[in-house]
Amino acid sequence: ADLRIADPPNAWILFDALGALGRDDEALAALERHVTLRPGPHGAAATRRLSGDGLPLREDGLQRVRLHEAAGTAGDPPRLVVLDQVVLRLRADGSGTMQVHRLARAGSSAAAEELGQVAVPPDARIVALRTIHPDGTSVHATDRAGARDYPLVGLAAGDYADVEYVVETAPSAIFPGGAAPPTFFFAAPDEWLGRSEYAIVHPAGVELRWDAGPGTPEPQVADLEGLVVRRWLAENVRPQPLEPWAPDAEDVLPNVRACTGCTLERAAEFFARRTARRLRGDPGMDAWTAAAAVAPEPRAALRALYDRVLDEVRSAPDPADTPRAVFLRGRGDRTLLLYELARRAGLEPELWYASPASRGDVPPGLWFDGDYAVPLLRAAGVWVYAAEDFVPFGELPPNVGGRPAVRVAPAPGEGAVPALEEAPNEVRIEARVRDGIVALEARATLRGLAAAALRQTLAEGSAERLAEHVRAYAFPHFGRGASFESVGVDGAESREGPLVVFATIRLPPGPGGATTLAVPHRWRDRFAALAERRHPLLLPASVVEEWTIVARGVAPQAALDVAPLDLATPFGSFAQRVAETGDPATIEIRRSLRLPAQRIEPADYPAFRAFAAAVDAAVETPLRLGPISTPSMKSGDHADSRPGSSMSTAGR
């Protein structure tokens, strides 16, 4: 077609037809050629359509259904998203409109039921909300079922749910005059996408920055009389399920996150101003600011800031505009705020990013709300991770969420990165049979991050949360039927010392009423349950533990049931041995476990899974216990006689 002699309506028909056929390069080229060759009012109409008048780049749902039916539906999955399109039109002031169009085919009655209720933002302008039948007839939704939900009328297997609406977007609060729209994904964990398209239209004078995830298609770019159109298009995208212990969706699925006017400095200034307003009149923070401004000794000033926030955390105040509410909001907020405060205090802070290898280099100076990169702070020579308790890590960068703290991501396959050597957590369990039940007196000494996490739970003041935390993290999972009779904690008054958790646990009888003891670790269930992986396995925190298991009332040959093992692998190590006790009816088992935080590539995963299975196999054989007449534990060793926080959790 020759657009030089085409009327404007015919030009748009050609543009829409080429787009409907999937020939987007030709469609954009034709539109650009039309605007270039017809700079008069018709060309201006094209520019207005892209800049806000009408619906630019709109796909007609009925036309898409006709094309899909003509191509045949025999090979369709039960639920197919025929079209997933977002067109974002940005203005120079950061505001804009977001045009959303989603057309999905229900290949089964179950899919029809799932697609039959449609959620639409309450402030959206609805363009189309209808059921389209395979013959091209349609039924529009009218009745509203709830605040945001619409039921689609007559949607059955073989029909299409066509949802199209437009919402206004406000400028970014963090970047005034800029925009920070949400991430657009070109793949989904549980949906097959026939056509996934993201388009951004913005003035030529506005700088658009974006981050593209792995497998993201290259953008198509067109310049149209002061406007820039960028379109990303992916077709026939299979479902990509997310795996446990894997990087975030932004790190493994194709996606685009764009922004305008976004810089690290502007974000830090925003959080600093907001916090200054909220903390105005707070004597504790004012004292810290004054001390830091006069003559700060770097580490002392940083420590004073930690102490101020920790006081608020432990006091568990009413959720309001307090340091707790401000600092415990999100990792990015806290880190950037600490960066700004440290800069004002003269601590010469540096911001580094934690990024998985799949992301490549981090764009310099780029940060916006919810960014894929976790910012890390080094101030006064100390690495800081802005967790709930603002844990300083020392000279080496921490490994946060399996993501090494680096300016440029590591090459795939490097695995573990240098991290601080943590002092081991120590667990001691003494078992004996009482009234036909195996009773355990358990004690765990927690240090480092484990102690910091438990202190945060203690600050919440909830007995149930404390019991859940102890069951999940301080002691192994003994299976259904185990009851925690009491739980207590020593050392909660200390800021940085170890926490000692003690509990009385009762185990149900084994098969046939046998009184047996097995202390599992279940590494394969926890970390390697999948037979194979497509994405890296991220172990976010190191496991460094020393175990002592004392079983009383065992047969003399019980030591033969304990498999001695000294296993060292690139992933970690495990050792188990039997220690001398001097009592033939008592056996003492000692275990040493080391599993550092690391990134395990899919090719290395089978070897890691075998390592986890070997650890589980070494500890799965139960010890048979019998009743004995021995004195009860000394009062100082019993949970109920210890000082500190305690409560009953029987029957949990």
Highest mean pLDDT among 43-52, 179-188, 288-297: 179-188
Is the confidence at residue 288, as pLDDT, over 80? no
Q: What is the mean pLDDT of residues 4-15?
A: 49
Better pLDDT: 48 or 234: 234
pLDDT of amino acid 616: 93
Residue range 283-301: mean pLDDT, rounded? 50
- pLDDT attached to residue 329: 43
Query: DSSP 3-state assignment of 506?
Result: strand
Give the Cα separation of 378 and 448 in Å (integer). 19
- The ranges assigned to domains in the chain are 1-51, 52-260, 264-404, 425-646
Q: What is the pLDDT of residue 297?
A: 53
Higher pLDDT pick, 466 / 590 = 590
Asked if the domains at 52-260 and 425-646 fall in one CATH topology, the answer is: no
What pLDDT does 35 receive? 55
pLDDT, tens digit, 9 for 90 and up, residues 498-547 = 889 998 998 888 777 788 888 888 899 888 999 999 888 877 667 889 99
| Lowest mean pLDDT, pick from 344-353, 366-375, 484-493, 603-612 | 366-375
Q: Which of 311-315, 471-475, 628-632 has the highest mean pLDDT?
A: 471-475
| Residue with more model confidence, 539 or 317 | 539
pLDDT computed for residue 474 by the predictor: 74
Domain boundaries 52-260, corresponding CATH code = 2.60.40.3140
174-202 tens-digit pLDDT: 788 999 888 899 999 989 999 999 999 99
Euclidean distance between CA atoms 456 and 444, whole angstroms: 17
pLDDT of res. 414: 39
Please list the residues that pair with 539 across neighbouring strands. 598
Please state, as a whole number, how many other Cβ atoms lie within 10 Å of the Cβ of residue 215: 15
What is the rounded distance in angstroms from the CA atom of residue 588 to the CA atom of residue 429? 10
Q: How confident is the model at residue 19 (pLDDT cuts 50, 70, 90)?
A: low
pLDDT reported for residue 32: 58
pLDDT score for 11? 59
Q: List pLDDT tens digits, range 246-280.
A: 777 777 889 988 888 876 566 666 655 655 555 55
Coil/strand/helix, residue 632: coil
Q: From CA 432, how far away is CA 440, in angstroms rounded?
A: 7
Out of 58-72, 331-345, 376-390, 401-415, the most confident range is 58-72
Among the residue ranges 79-88, 336-345, 386-395, 608-617, the one predicted with the least confidence is 386-395
Q: Count of CB atoms within 10 A of residue 359's CB?
A: 20
Class of domain 425-646: mainly beta
Residue 19 in tokens: 């787009």
Model confidence at 40: pLDDT above 60 = no
Q: Binning pLDDT at 50, 70 and 90, where does residue 10 land?
A: low
Structure-block tokens of residue 495: 């800021």
pLDDT higher at 481 or 604: 604
pLDDT of residue 548: 96
Summary mean pLDDT of the chain: 74
pLDDT at 42 over 60: no
The per-residue pLDDT for range 199-214, each reduced to its tens digit, is: 999 999 999 988 787 8
pLDDT tens track for 65-99? 999 999 999 889 999 999 999 999 999 999 999 99
Rounded Cα distance, 286 and 280, in Å: 8
Asked if pLDDT for residue 639 goes beyond 60, the answer is no
Q: What is the mean pLDDT of residues 341-359?
A: 58
pLDDT given at position 48: 46
Q: What angle do CA 83, 118, 22 make, to 5 degrees?
A: 5
Asked whether residue 345 carries a pLDDT value surpassing 80, the answer given is: no
Which residues have a Cβ under 8 Å from the Cβ of 556 and sit 6 or more positions away? Answer: 584, 585
Percent helix, percent strand, percent coil in the chain, to nearest 5: 30, 30, 40
